[in-house]
Amino acid sequence: MHESRVPTVVSTSPFADQKPGTSGLRKPVTVFQQPHYLENFIQSVFDSLPDHEGQTLVIGGDGRFFNAEAIQVILRMACANGIRRILVGRHGLLSTPAVSHLIRKHRAYGGFVLSASHNPGGAHGDFGIKYNIGNGGPAPESLTDTIFENSRKISRFRIVAAPHCDLGRIGTCQLNNTEVEIIDPVADYAELMESLFDFKAISDLLKSPDFRMRFDAMNAVTGPYAKTILEDHLGAPKGTVVNAVPLQDFGGIHPDPNPTHAADLVAAMQGATALDFGAASDGDGDRNMILGANAYVTPSDSLAIIAAHAHLIPGYAGRLTGIARSMPTSRAADRVAAKQGVPCFETPTGWKFFGTLLDAGMVTFCGEESFGTGSDHVREKDGLWAVLYWLNILAKTRMPVSKILAEHWQTYGRDYYSRHDYENLDIATANALMHDLKTQSLNGKVFGNRTVTMHDDFAYSDPVSNQATSGQGIRVIFSDGARMVFRLSGTGTSGATLRVYLERFEPNPQAQDIDTQDALKELIILSREISGIEARTGRKTPDVIT
């Protein structure tokens, strides 16, 4: 037990750039390494939390560079700010959904997630911190606004001068009156997954000589979770999980599970020797990509198919109450909700907007087009959960992914859908482009065979809290139901990322096997014409197409 030490109050000055974005505060590592930068933000969080003294917190991250050092600082500051108990994943590792589950299971006051999610890592990469509240979900805007305001006027922070806790040893470490418990990062999460899915059916599938799969953990936090659950518990062949050891720089991999950054996995899913099933997850384990032999499942379709097959999954059979999707996500889930007779809610981008709906029991499944899918089992999106859900569907239907897609489209129609990302744009140029998109008059304009029937800047009123949110993306909807959405991402750390979302509905089964980019060709050309992307930015093509 460490000797009792009096908290030190350290004088400091504000930083102007500590406004949390869609998923917390994300900056280059070198920014967080500035003297007092990390401490200022953490103290601003504690200054924003009422009645936190004597409470329990959960802390963990994706293992990226600066993760362990930041945890030691947070532990000493939590002690100085009166936190009584802290749960930390061994080696500082916890996936984002695992943090959410631990907060809920232990009825903790909240938790810190240390990650920049799908952003690159390493000494010259990115770092991030997000605070999650007592329901296990991201802090709402009302709290993040308060944190930012406190960061702008901070003059001191509290910290205890004490030796580091050994994060590599399961057990307890005492900092004054604060008990720090180092726990197995996987065990509780694995137990939760077994309570939701038919592990025997999945195990039989994974052990079948006729079924081959690969899970790419991208040298990130999901590796230990996937190896334990897929290989140890379910009996998948050793080596099914690749890039399974979390590395501080992700081994040079950009840990974003999409066709561009998971190119090796995509290649293994193509051609005559393609694997039957492929999946990948991101830096902190909350995103996923699903692939079949010569088949790519868009995140939008994945959400819709998950909801349509709830009756096959033990943890969800008979209890579909509703579906929620972010506004840029395709409307495929809307069609499932309508057929099932349940509501479908359209929210702004950001998992925090699903929290009130989940807590109120109004929805069972949630999804975002940015490779995020989840349910009411936690209050975060959950990459490995989505993979297990798909394996459970495959185990029950014994159909290949391509056939599941084809049958779904035949039943509900196909939403041809794609996202085009223009990364690291000049911020002023990107803001001017969005301003002009918002202010120009497009309603009623005719473009070829299409007429604009709606042109707006998406706004949302939470049906539970009544909190209003505006400025969430420019929508252009046409008379045939096709639409395009323009939005600036809130997850980058340098420059601006413009995301252009394109969608059109195809009800005819005979026209549902066209290449997606060919099917959307007219909309792609039109989106560039309306926005003037090439003329304004000099970019002739997107950096990433998903």
The reply to whether 501 falls in a domain is yes
Catalytic entry in 44, 48, 95, 117: 117
The reply to whether 163 falls in a domain is yes
Instruction: Indicate if 418 and 403 belong to the same structural domain.
Output: no
- Spatial distance between the Cα atoms of 201 and 395, rounded to a whole number of angstroms: 6
The reply to whether 2 falls in a domain is no
pLDDT class of 307 with cuts at 50, 70, 90: very high
Instruction: Indicate if 254 and 383 belong to the same structural domain.
Output: yes
pLDDT class of 544 with cuts at 50, 70, 90: confident
The reply to whether 325 falls in a domain is yes
- Spatial distance between the Cα atoms of 491 and 27, rounded to a whole number of angstroms: 10
The reply to whether 1 falls in a domain is no
Instruction: Indicate if 339 and 195 belong to the same structural domain.
Output: yes
Give per-residue pLDDT as tens, 116-159.
Answer: 988 999 999 999 999 999 999 999 989 999 999 999 999 999 99
Instruction: Indicate if 457 and 501 belong to the same structural domain.
Output: yes
For the chain, the domain total comes to: 3
Instruction: Indicate if 394 and 426 belong to the same structural domain.
Output: no
Instruction: Indicate if 160 and 58 belong to the same structural domain.
Output: yes
Instruction: Indicate if 407 and 419 belong to the same structural domain.
Output: no
Instruction: Indicate if 276 and 388 belong to the same structural domain.
Output: yes
Instruction: Indicate if 352 and 432 belong to the same structural domain.
Output: no
Average pLDDT over residues 341-351: 95
Average pLDDT over residues 358-371: 95
Instruction: Indicate if 341 and 400 belong to the same structural domain.
Output: yes
What is the pLDDT, as a whole number, of residue 2?
47
Kindly give, in sequence order, each residue whose CB lies less than 8 Å from that of residue 110, ignoring residues fewer than 6 positions away.
49, 55, 57, 58, 103, 131, 132, 133, 134
Contact between 235 and 208 under an 8 Å Cβ cutoff? The reply is no
Average pLDDT over residues 33-50: 98
Last residue of a domain, one of 160, 185, 210: 185
117 labelled catalytic: yes
CATH of the domain at 218: 3.40.120.10
Give per-residue pLDDT as tens, 393-418.
Answer: 999 999 999 999 999 999 999 999 99
Q: Which residues pair with 99 in a beta bridge?
A: none
Report strand pairing: 85-93 vs 56-61: parallel
What is the pLDDT, as a whole number, of residue 1?
42
Last residue of a domain, one of 364, 392, 412: 412
pLDDT class of 22 with cuts at 50, 70, 90: confident
DSSP string, 248-291: TTGGG-----STTTTHHHHHHTSSTT--SEEEEE-TTS-BEEEE
What is the pLDDT, as a whole number, of residue 350?
87
Q: In terms of Cα–Cα distance, which of 485, 478, 484 is closest to 447?
A: 478
Contact between 469 and 460 under an 8 Å Cβ cutoff? The reply is yes
CATH of the domain at 422: 3.30.310.50
- Spatial distance between the Cα atoms of 483 and 477, rounded to a whole number of angstroms: 4
Average pLDDT over residues 210-227: 97
Q: Which residues pair with 451 in a beta bridge?
A: 446
For residue 168, what are the domain limits? 8-185
Give per-residue pLDDT as tens, 444-475.
Answer: 999 988 999 999 999 999 999 999 999 999 99
Q: Does pLDDT of 490 surpass 70? A: no
- Could you tell me how many helices (H) and strands (E) the chain has, helices first? 18, 27
Give per-residue pLDDT as tens, 243-290.
Answer: 999 999 999 999 999 888 999 999 999 999 999 999 999 999 999 999
Q: Does pLDDT of 3 surpass 60? A: no
Window from 3-12, 43-52, 122-131, 309-318 with minimum mean pLDDT: 3-12
How far from chain centre, in Å, is Cα 456?
26
pLDDT class of 4 with cuts at 50, 70, 90: low
Last residue of a domain, one of 185, 210, 235: 185
What is the pLDDT, as a whole number, of residue 159?
97
Mean pLDDT (the chain) is 95
The reply to whether 134 falls in a domain is yes
Instruction: Indicate if 348 and 446 belong to the same structural domain.
Output: no
- Spatial distance between the Cα atoms of 91 and 167, rounded to a whole number of angstroms: 5
- Spatial distance between the Cα atoms of 516 and 74, rounded to a whole number of angstroms: 46
Instruction: Indicate if 389 and 535 belong to the same structural domain.
Output: no
Q: For residue 44, how many other CB atoms are within 10 A of its CB? A: 25
What is the pLDDT, as a whole number, of residue 492?
54
Average pLDDT over residues 84-108: 98
What is the pLDDT, as a whole number, of residue 493?
58
The reply to whether 71 falls in a domain is yes
Q: At what angle do helices 67-80 and 37-48 cross, to 10 degrees?
A: 40
What is the pLDDT, as a whole number, of residue 5?
66
Q: For residue 240, how many other CB atoms are within 10 A of its CB? A: 19
Identify the three-state secondary structure at position 107.
Answer: coil
The reply to whether 312 falls in a domain is yes
476-to-345, 346, 530, 532 alpha-carbon distances in Å: 19, 16, 10, 15
Contact between 25 and 41 under an 8 Å Cβ cutoff? The reply is yes
Give per-residue pLDDT as tens, 239-248.
Answer: 999 999 999 9
Percent of the chain with pLDDT over 90: 90
Give per-residue pLDDT as tens, 49-82.
Answer: 999 999 999 999 999 999 999 999 999 999 999 9
Residue 430 tokens read as 């990107």
